[in-house]
Structure 1
Amino acid sequence: MRKPAETSAPLAEEIAQRWSPRALDETGEVSWAQLRSMLEAARWAPSFGNTQPARYLVGRRGDATFGRILGALTERNRSWAHRAGALLVAVMVTRNEKGEIPYAEYGLGLAGQNLVLQAVHEGLAAHQMAGFDPDAIRAGFGVPPEAVPRVAIAVGVPAEPEILGEDRDVARERAPRRRIALGDFAFADTWGSAVPEL
């Protein structure tokens, strides 16, 4: 299901088409080649001083890594994410040989955005989730103390919303995408003053 963004200016196709569906095709495959492209996109994201704080745990449906990531998700997220072709956990490295990594969370966010936009380019959908147990990930994968499991990501082939079953979930999936107006987003002169040229 496509839900392109309604924008006030033209956007790159991947940005306009990116959204976070939960309805995923349980038979749809996410290939290693697609995952490699997504991870390369994340690897080439900007970071403060080229510190590269992003790391990923990666599992494809049916393998042990997928199962362990799925087990760490909240029950609500497991109810739909089991259909994903791949599950990942984005991990933020907070220290390296030079000490604390400045803006590590920002760097991980940039890498994550690259990853999900590449997923769209690959004809896939990616849904990022805060609903998981970081301690279970840390223990299950031997994540070191200087690394913080920050977000889980389900990647898959989009499906029709009815696969979700419950009416409220289907309605939520079909609901229009919304963002605040550009005038409430970009300011000039003083906070809250819209940029006149926009």
Structure 2
Amino acid sequence: MTLRLENLTVTLAGRRLVALDLTIGPGEIVTLMAPSGAGKSSALGAIIGTLPPDFAVTGRVLLGGRDVTALPTRLRRIGLLFQDDLLFPHLSVAGNLGFALPARMTDRSARIDSALGSAGLAGFGPRDPATLSGGERARVALLRCLLAEPQALLLDEPFSRLDTALRDQMRSLVFDRARNLGLPVLLVTHDIEDARAAAGPVLDPFGTATSSLSP
């Protein structure tokens, strides 16, 4: 599965924010690295289909060769992991994970238990999200995203609110899971350590290779 951004351009009030023409292969992580306000999040919004109508988007988003540009967000099969975990406070951990499972699945409890065990959270299903640590919440958010069976993954500065030790742990978990599943990944960040850990091409929102990784 590849994610192809074909001449994808985003403008707002005549100002061009994004201009990307690139292909992200299975298990590859491409980083968009730029300061806040430089268009990184606008690129993700264009890819997933959530930009407000004030933004003008041209070009195409192709996933596995299928043009998803005109599809609603829920049908694009593109997962998005935010810097905030956004867990539903009125649902248990298992309830949060179950919300993401495709309706066709019949072994829902088994899938949830297996996912929790794989992330070191065995037995956490009945827990209230409010009782979890920051790292536990981050892992649940990742599991919820992956249980929806996305065919590509977008990362919107998902590590920025974690402390240093936890940030390293979550980078490894997210990147390793994405590579093992063969997901094309686009990471947006302004943190040089995120880009280094991703170990892939580093671009700005205009598709220009950046020298930000240089000492």
Please give the TM-score of this superposition, normalised by the length of structure 2: 0.29
Please give the TM-score of this superposition, normalised by the length of structure 1: 0.31
Larger helix fraction of residues: 1
Q: Which has the higher contact order (CA 8 A, sep 6+)?
A: 2
Larger strand fraction of residues: 2
